[in-house]
Structure 1
């Protein structure tokens, strides 16, 4: 077992630059200190399973790494598309500019059981109980790698990591200098401009990235989007033992929303404005003792227009007079409910300590999170609602011999939204390494997901023209309890040194219980029922997934992913006002999913890559039943050296280039052939 400090590389780089010698020599040492090979050796180092740096052969979970080479070869033009390259994951367009990412299916248009982080900062929204990819404000070129924990990671990251965790690691300011300009244009009248600039300021290194992106959406719905962002990332090492990292940014823009299960439903412009600030201090007390303190703040404001009389006449079929009277009593009524404001404050202390050299390491930490939300649509007169969460977490890594690693992790979490008090989420994993290149792993975990602010407080009432209650659509439920998942798994990982690749397989059973979902109760209103959130859904997943990546030649590498997920015993309690207990008959998760990516480097600095995706038939909640589909993407790239420090790269990207048009999530959300041209200038 090797212990690595997260701050060791930047400290080493700074120390190297401070040594006597020429500036060129220092820069060369600096580049070597932070090359991609440090992260992607024969067996990669990861941090996302336990928060402590480990080899994949020591981690208690299966982890997929999406590196910069994969990002470029995939031809993806947005981040959610990248997760099609992770076994067991489903990524989909809800409409042209609304995305969903889930693990093992069983989801709707707001996937809410995955923790998504950027450099450890959660971007999960308390208002919508999901991730809004439009307001993320992050370019693909800003990403160093993405670590995806396949399986519940609540013991490391808390409730939101119920089914898994995604940590997007951005490029260190120390890893690049100079400037980059990137242009992209193509289908749906897509126009994108991105720029990055890195420079040293005294003893610090800073990167600034800006971007503007817009498209017109599909021809049928004109569900386009427009947005711009500005991000700042800076790192400072005032001493050899301390590193300060600062990140900040903002985004604003709009994206049109709509349920595309019909051609006559409204398409609504939803504006967004967000900002964040993130400060982290890493202190290396000695080679075996490190402390990290982090704090961040997220803010998001979503705005949709109030409905008009013409809207109610067109989409609800109401007479104009009645529509005007209803709007007078319901002035905040909107045709899309993604409207409101949310803020999140998070403070955390983390301590990593090596107890015995090469044999035992302990990581523990304490965190506090405060969330607020308000919405005239989703919460109505409940005003500004709040949630407080405390978490105490830890992971003990023991290596009694060279061939054995035992990870024991847990998190105690309490939330003011849960009626059942604090919950303990434990995980245990034993790794056996018959040799240095392979490992067998057995693991078990039990984890809880606390109800979100929206799930507990959702409220929507419609008043008639006289001001009396006409319909209570949703009401709050302050008695919600946490969801629970119990996971058993057997894993195998093998590194192939001669082929610069690996094979990773996982056999699992997931028992998901007490899931929060809609529940209908009798009422005296017009439709005689009210929707309320209730712990009334359960299912079981049994399956197998694997990933194979090989590089049989210096100019050729390929990636193959496959997942078989059999979702059984899917039972949903629809409540006494509907059908009561209902067992799903259609597949809530695609039974088979697969993806493949092949990359070939050609003479004269040409590059060709092909990606193939297959998703089996599935019944999406809200989206309906979708048939299976195949999609093939192609990327042809060319790089031209313009000078010692100048490089021009061009790429032709064709998504679904065979033209196998298919419906994605909604019936009328058709994914056709799409073509893009991309130019990147480094100078």
Structure 2
């Protein structure tokens, strides 16, 4: 294929790194200008997701990225999933899913051969929203608004030891704001090309009780109906997907200080409304309605030794109701039952203790029960009983020991023991050492193992194959990865550096497209992924900040059963965010994203007469300008956001997945 010159090509990247290294050496020469260790640690972010212990990011046993409230605001994103373009190594594709849920794909080093990215764990306030049916997460179905998020913690790498089997490639933990921080009235109004939204929130308190109620209405028309730059004149490849959405959300959170040492948190939420799915000449839905809700209770007690005991219980329902029809007028079967009802109950107990000045321990366990009913997806599509409700049960024990052998040397050792009724019992360990070899500079070495449990869809497909074709076929089992991670975190005056080398050896990968495989075994995939990634955060001035991310990954695989793992990760992905505060009123930000050429598998016939194709390198610029003001006791901000400033036409994931061109919208926020 013809290579095009990229705005974030290798030479500019190397130039930027050289400038950074020059800045580094100059700063190291001026040792007296370095902040003290105490000053540095006071400014180091504290993370919770890496090991279940509250620890500085420099002492976390896995690479971490934090997206805080200011980054969320300045990014100007419309969809929550768009945020993760600012994470090194993350692949994000706009509205790429074509069936069940027309939604975005978010994957970290995802070996992407399908759109439901199911090799990464997604948590919201410690509650997993990993979908039982296909895995992954349906981002539009989360009862969550951006303005209620405090921060997002992302672990870049396998983390089954901390959050279980499906934390195969990483974990995204979305942490919402404490209700005591959202008192008063809040209103947000957004309007622009193909999208409108209203968010209203009220927060209050009564003694030791604080609470908030948030409601939103969103109308999202998604992609344009016709492709602007189709790759062929064949009708199917000139049309985008059906992806209109009308989203209604309602969420409530209450925090109660029951005693000086006890705190109770209660949450509930609802997300529902009209959804489109499918594409021309394919199975689509008629009048699909989403109907999702959850309830969560979390109790915490502070212990005398500085530790904590907590109990969390939650229940969630992921459901949608639809009739499925084939849009091909020459082949229109009777409507099928496209309903999906998935229900989860989860109970977790966790205990943190501090047995000595140099040791901290966190341990606990949980039980989970999932039921999934999907007459077409699990029954008819696999020639199985359409009335069956599928059961998944999970129990697990986990623990992590943090030991400070010396002031500059920290060890983390942990493991997760899990048992489920799909694949039995497995254990996933991790061993990590963090060495603060110089003030404000840390090296990390980590070795870990992780697994991914087959989804209900995987299990049903294999059961159908064994029932109708060959009873001797091996049952589907867990995927495995063995990971080696070498990291460096450093601070040079106004520049923060996060650099990571990784080697991930994958085995027993499940063939996602579920077509007959030559080996007769769904777990036929193997791949070796090696590379590096870096994140630079530079406070250029007191009012200007630059964040730059670069990930480089190479995949080696035999591509068993014609699944193209070899090129299923972009060799290079880059992103940047430049923000500037002009005055007390005016601010602006500029975001740039580039994703290198990537090779995915096509389900069916396709452009250029091949079922294998490359999506070429694509890039995008976004911008935001905000004006903050105050009228009496009301604080406000009016912001103009422009996505795809250059009006570029490009494809993400597939050649019929063309994001909208230049899109602009206005957002008004008022806090009273």
TM-score, normalised to structure 1, is 0.83
- Provide, for residues 473-532 of structure 1, a one-character-per-residue CA deviation record: whole Å limited to 9, x for no partner: 999988222111000111001134x42x5211110000010011158787xxxxxx9998
* 2:505 paired residue number: 511
Q: CA deviation at 1:42?
A: 1.8
CA distance in 1, matches of 2:470, 2:436: 53
Aligned counterpart, 2:430:
427
Give distance in 1, aligned partners of 2:515 and 2:220.
43
Gaps of 5+ in 1: 1-37, 463-470, 523-528, 574-581
Q: How many angstroms does 1:426 deviate by?
A: 0.3
Equivalent residue in structure 1 for 2:285, among 268, 284, 287: 268
Partner of 1:315: 328
Structure 1 runs, 4 residues or longer, greater than 6 Å off: 459-462, 471-478, 519-522, 529-533
Deviations 1:336-355, CA, capped at 9 Å, x for gaps: xxx41101111011010111
| Alignment partner of 2:441 out of 438, 441, 466 | 438
Residues 168 and 39 of structure 1, relative CA distance in 2, 3 Å threshold: farther
2:302 corresponding residue in structure 1: 284
Using the alignment, how far apart are the partners of 2:536 and 2:593 within structure 1? 15
Distance 1:396 1:416 in 2: 29
Once the two structures are superposed, what CA deviation does each residue of 1:404-447 show, in whole Å capped at 9, x if it has no partner? 000001101111011xx311100001110023412101110112
| Equivalence for 1:347 | 347
Alignment of 1:643-682 (within 5 A): 643=632, 645-671=633-659, 672-682=661-671
Distance of aligned partners of 1:486 and 1:142 in 2 relative to their CA distance in 1, 3 Å threshold: same
Q: 1:583 to 1:242 in 2, by over 3 A?
A: closer
Instruction: Tell me what 1:151 maps to.
Output: 157
Q: CA deviation at 1:40?
A: 10
In 1, distance between residues paired with 2:324 and 2:463? 15
Between stretches 530-539 and 472-481, larger displacement belongs to 472-481
The alpha carbon displacement at 1:215 in A equals 2.1
Distance 1:298 1:39 in 2: 41
- Listed as ranges, the matches of 1:114-153 within 5 Å are 114-153=120-159
In structure 1, the residue matched to 2:454 is: 451
- Mapping 1:551-630, distance limit 5 Å: 551-573=539-561, 582=562, 584=564, 587-603=567-583, 605-622=585-602, 625-630=614-619
CA gap 1:482/1:95 in 2 versus in 1, 3 angstroms: closer
> What is the CA–CA distance in structure 2 between the aligned matches of 1:642 and 1:41, rounded to whole Å?
35
TM-superposed deviation, 1:454: 2.0
- Aligned match of 2:233: none
Q: Is the 8 A contact 1:105 1:590 kept in 2?
A: no
Partner of 2:70: 69
Q: CA deviation at 1:538?
A: 1.1
- CA apart distance, 1:264: 4.8
TM-score by length of 2: 0.84
Displacement after TM superposition at 1:218 (Å) = 2.9
Distance, in Å, in 2 between the alignment partners of 1:514 and 1:554 is 50
Query: 1:466 matched to which residue of 2?
Result: none
Query: 2:17: which partner in 1?
Result: none
Equivalent residue of 1:257, what SS? coil
Aligned partner (choices 621, 625, 628) of residue 636 of structure 1: 625
**Distance in 2, Cα, partners of 1:412 & 1:199:** 42
What's the counterpart of residue 184 of structure 1?
190
- The 1:408–1:603 alpha-carbon spacing in structure 2 relative to 1, beyond 3 Å, is same
CA distance in 1, matches of 2:397, 2:550: 35
Is 2:480 the partner of 1:484?
yes
Q: What is the distance in 2 between the residues matched to 1:172 and 1:379?
A: 39
Q: Could you say what secondary structure the match of 1:590 adopts?
A: coil
Pick aligned residue for 1:536 from 519, 524, 527: 524
CA contact (8 A) 1:473 1:531 kept: no
Deviation of 1:568 after TM superposition, in Å, equals 1.1
Deviations 1:124-163 (A, max 9, x none): 1101212011110211111100000000000000011011
Q: Work out the number of aligned pairs and report it.
A: 596
1:285/1:333 Cα in 2 relative to 1: closer, same or farther (>3 Å)?
closer
In 2, distance between residues paired with 1:444 and 1:44? 23
SS, match of residue 378 in structure 1: helix
* Deviation larger for 665-674 or 144-153: 665-674
- With over 3 angstroms needed to count, the CA separation of the structure-2 counterparts of 1:252 and 1:508, relative to structure 1, is same
1:394 pairs with 399, 402, 405, which one? Answer: 399
> Cα offset for 1:584?
3.4
Instruction: Name the counterpart of 1:295.
Output: 313
- Deviations along 1:430-472, one digit per CA (max 9) or x if unpaired, are 110023412101110112222222211238989xxxxxxxx97
C-alpha separation in 1, matches of 2:590 and 2:626: 12
CA distance in 1, matches of 2:470, 2:663: 40
Change (3 A) 1:66 1:521: closer
Q: What is aligned with 1:385?
A: 390
Shift of 1:599: 0.3
The answer (yes or no) to whether the contact 1:458–1:475 under 8 Å persists in 2 is: no
Q: Is the 8 A contact 1:487 1:509 kept in 2?
A: yes
CA distance in 1, matches of 2:81, 2:544: 25
**How far apart, CA to CA, are the structure 2 residues paired with 1:234 and 1:616?**
44
Contact 1:83/1:89 (CA < 8 Å) preserved in 2?
yes
User: Deviations for 1:245-265, whole angstroms, at most 9, x for unmatched residues?
Assistant: 001011111221225xxx654
Q: Once the two structures are superposed, what CA deviation does each residue of 1:318-372 show, in whole Å capped at 9, x if it has no partner?
A: 3xxxx5xx63xxx6366xxxx4110111101101011111x11110011111111
Distance 1:201-1:632 versus aligned 2 partners, 3 A rule: same
Residues 230-258 of structure 1, C-alpha deviations (whole Å, 9 max, x = no match): 10111001101001000101111122122
1:82–1:461 Cα change, 3 Å:
same
In 2, Cα distance between equivalents of 1:80 and 1:482: 27
CA contact (8 A) 1:301 1:340 kept: yes
Q: In structure 2, how many angstroms separate the alpha carbons of the residues matched to 1:342 and 1:475?
A: 28
Deviation at 1:306? Answer: 3.4
1:682 Cα offset (Å) = 0.8
- Offset, 1:94: 3.2
Select the structure that is richer in strand: 1
Partners of 1:66 and 1:476 in 2: CA distance: 48
CA distance in 2 between partners of 1:40 and 1:294 (Å): 31
The whole-number CA distance in structure 2 between the counterparts of 1:300 and 1:654 is 33
